[in-house]
Structure 1
Amino acid sequence: MDYVKTLSDLVAIDTTVPPGNNYRLALEYLVPHFEGAGFQSELVEIPTEFCEGRTGRFALISHRKSQAKPRLIFYGHIDVVPAQGWPAFEPRVENGKMFGRGSADMKGGIVGLLIGLNKMADREYKYDVSIMITTDEELSQSGQIRFLKRFLEPVAGSIVWSLDSNTGGVAIAGLGALQVDIKINGKSVHSGLSHLGTNAVEQAVPVMNALLELKSKITAKRSAVPAHPDTGLKFMEPRLNINMIHGGLKSNIVPDECTITVDRRLIPEETLEEADNEIRDLLGKFKDIRWEISYGLRVPTVPPANGPAVERLEKLIKEVTGTSGRFGEMGSGDMGIIVHEEWQGQDFGLGVIRTESNIHGKDEFVYLKDIEDLGEIISRYLSE
């Protein structure tokens, strides 16, 4: 397999979400590649009720069954975030790197998997292996994953290897997430008669100041789980960010609404209930401000992965790359809690993402050597 061409072809398919128009095209491109590695593959259309009403959602499910062996499921996603201001879907190779949207996050990881599977095409596997390549990870996909469970059985006690991860060590934990909209309600009037109204934007200011005070307390916490060295952090840290503010209709109208969007990320030692109560307790102190709260993304935390499956991968990373370790990632996803609580399995990760890869930013790139190393590690992990 010419993996550079395969990745180039894949990156050139614009799978930006929203809208997610080319999902089927990208997954159909992958089907013969997995079948060529000895996997039975099918394209599964996701019913709209499992993807929040969105249409045109698909997944690629592939199997190479070896009953009575430990269950291993590889996970990845084909969607990418939007890109502007650069030729994001015209992949180019320079100095051992491929540039293009999704090259690192995470189409490069999928191609690394294909390299590993091709190395093992005529050899016996240590595991009973399935592959799930999904869509909408960059939005939300818990409903899609729950729907796909029926195509992956048995899942109980399975090992789930997320390719949507950093390189350089085993990702054993991720951040939980709580996204909250705080709407401040006022009363709109003509700006010249502002004494008769209530300015929701101005009332949002002390709320935001209080949130920033809470932020300083939250970000002072530290997890016991080390962070990836590339982040510049020693241990995982929680986050509270005010990422959006919406308010006002026109310069001469006192605004009657202002919405503050908060993104709260949780270390494994925290719970969603605790994080929610922190914000509600803060808001409860404002007796003269009318507010209401609504929720977006809610991703609970799970305990760090450990045990023989993690130890084996850590050892193989060391053999292939010379470096290794275990770390928590400073990102969130839907898979961990589903695997841990609903499948009673274990979720960990290794991919091709580096902090310097600038995923979600301009000129995203992946090192081709990282893809090759991932393929070698996967082939050794699958080997008896």
Structure 2
Amino acid sequence: MDLATTVQAWIEPWAEEMAELLAELVAMDTENPPGRGLGRCGTRLRSVMEELGLEPEIIPVPPHEQLEEPCVVRGHVGNGSKLLYFHGHFDVVPAQSRAQFLPERRNGRMYGRGTADMKGGLVSMLYGAAAARDLGLLDDGKIVFHLVCDEETGSDASSGYLRREGLIDPAAVAMVTAEPTAGAIWHASRGALTLRVEIKGREAHVGQAHLGDNAFAHMVAIAAPLNDLARELLHKRTAFPMADEVAKGSMMVVGGASGSGANFNAVPGSAWFSIDRRFNPEEDVDEEIARLTEVIDAAAAAAGASTSIEVLQRQPSGGTPEQHPLAQALAASAAEVEGSAPTFELCPGILETRWYSQLGVPAFGYGPGRLDVSHGPGEYIDEAAMRRCAAVYALFAARAFTS
């Protein structure tokens, strides 16, 4: 019996327990925003990890916006000198219906909010690590879990806390996070830059509109060249592989959020809009800030407007070469279980891998869920895929500690 078959044979008897755990986690409403139920879910994850012998602890993190009891659940298995991180998040995007917190099993799938992104992946990681331990695959290695609470809103409160407090070891051999990649390997991700542009005008009653200075009109004038830039950027293609050629373009959304004025019968004296920029690994975050600032300043000067720019998010892109030994170790592990080699792709968004790759740790997204159903009203995960992914994680640990 080959190792992949051995690992899968260890996992299969746990199928019902894995499904029951996933259903329990899905039923815990951890919508973010606003970030409710995080402490309760973290406590349950700790108890499950205790039952599996994964040496857990809860690390409280400082209060952050509306997050309820923000925390990181940290655990480990093995005592070797080589360190591998299993990273995941237990917050979920807001549901389209409260019924999504009533998990439903049918035709080999579990339906509900967070099944694909990424509570199903967390279950895969927990049981994959337990399999690696029980089958003696850890060798001179140690798997460390970081389960965080605010990935859906940028992860500064939890992953950022780990980074700031020196709790991510730059000497780790690798990191993997259970994002819904449907069996592909995300070995790179875009960077993120979010700006809030404020425009000042002068308020006046509609009957004396000539005395006012319309901040909304200025906002429209400033946004126009930014929309032109967004169309131009879309034609800048990354060299990293993606399934969709158009998706390789460099992305920007202008005005995803905006607001102005105080009432319908007054010239608006203030206005604001957002810019969300997701740039490819070939692009530099500082150069992108400078480019956007230059466009905004030039448009504001032409309109005679007074503006200010606030940087809300600034995250560099990151990636690990497809040829890296640990990238190939993960690919070989997936191929053994799935029967065919996985594709390597650039994640279309940003990933938690960035907190590790910035420190030089090879970092990857690989998980059992599907991106095309994540965040949607029919979100689900295939239970068999969840178990196969657990086997991949166990095999990856074995290879990571012997490569």
Task: State the Cα distance separating 1:153 from its structure 2 match.
Answer: 6.4
Query: Does the 8 A contact of 1:72 with 1:159 survive in 2?
Result: yes
Task: State the Cα distance separating 1:29 from its structure 2 match.
Answer: 1.7
Match for residue 118 of structure 2 among 106, 115, 132 = 106
Match for residue 317 of structure 1 among 327, 334, 355 = 334
Matches within 5 A, 1:319-358: 319-321=336-338, 322-333=340-351, 335-341=352-358, 343-357=359-373
Query: Does the 8 A contact of 2:78 with 2:133 survive in 1?
Result: no
Instruction: Tell me which residue corresponds to 2:308.
Output: 292
Instruction: Tell me which residue corresponds to 1:95.
Output: 107
Of stretches 184-193 and 59-68 in structure 1, the one that deviates more from structure 2 is 59-68
Instruction: Tell me which residue corresponds to 2:18.
Output: 3
Query: Does the 8 A contact of 2:32 with 2:92 survive in 1?
Result: yes
Change (3 A) 1:94 1:312: same
Per-residue CA deviation, residues 340-364 of structure 1 (Å, 9 max, x unaligned), is 33x331211101232321x223222
What is the root-mean-square deviation in Å for CA atoms of aligned residues?
A: 2.2
Change (3 A) 1:96 1:144: same
Match for residue 145 of structure 1 among 155, 159, 168 = 159
2:134 partner SS: coil
Query: Does the 8 A contact of 2:35 with 2:67 survive in 1?
Result: no
Query: Does the 8 A contact of 2:39 with 2:69 survive in 1?
Result: yes
Structure 2 gaps of 5+ residues are 1-13
Per-residue CA deviation, residues 54-84 of structure 1 (Å, 9 max, x unaligned), is 551111111113323x310100011111113
Structure 1 gaps of 5+ residues are none
Instruction: Tell me which residue corresponds to 1:367.
Output: 382
Distance 2:44 2:310 in 1: 40
Instruction: Tell me which residue corresponds to 1:117.
Output: 129
Distance 2:317 2:38 in 1: 29
Distance 2:24 2:68 in 1: 24
Distance 1:52 1:159 in 2: 31
Change (3 A) 1:241 1:235: closer
Match for residue 263 of structure 1 among 266, 276, 281 = 276
Match for residue 236 of structure 1 among 228, 248, 254 = 248
Matches within 5 A, 1:169-248: 169-227=184-242, 229=243, 232-233=244-245, 236-242=248-254, 243-248=256-261
Task: State the Cα distance separating 1:323 from its structure 2 match.
Answer: 4.4
Query: Does the 8 A contact of 1:37 with 1:121 survive in 2?
Result: no
Query: Does the 8 A contact of 1:86 with 1:362 survive in 2?
Result: no
Task: State the Cα distance separating 1:304 from its structure 2 match.
Answer: 3.3
Q: Which runs of 4+ in 1 moved over 6 A?
A: none
Change (3 A) 1:28 1:141: same
Change (3 A) 1:263 1:26: same
TM, length-normalised to structure 2: 0.87
TM, length-normalised to structure 1: 0.91
Instruction: Tell me which residue corresponds to 1:20.
Output: 35
Number of matched pairs: 375
Task: State the Cα distance separating 1:146 from its structure 2 match.
Answer: 4.8
The letter for the 1-side match of 2:121 is: G
Of stretches 143-152 and 288-297 in structure 1, the one that deviates more from structure 2 is 143-152
Task: State the Cα distance separating 1:308 from its structure 2 match.
Answer: 0.8
Distance 1:337 1:376 in 2: 25
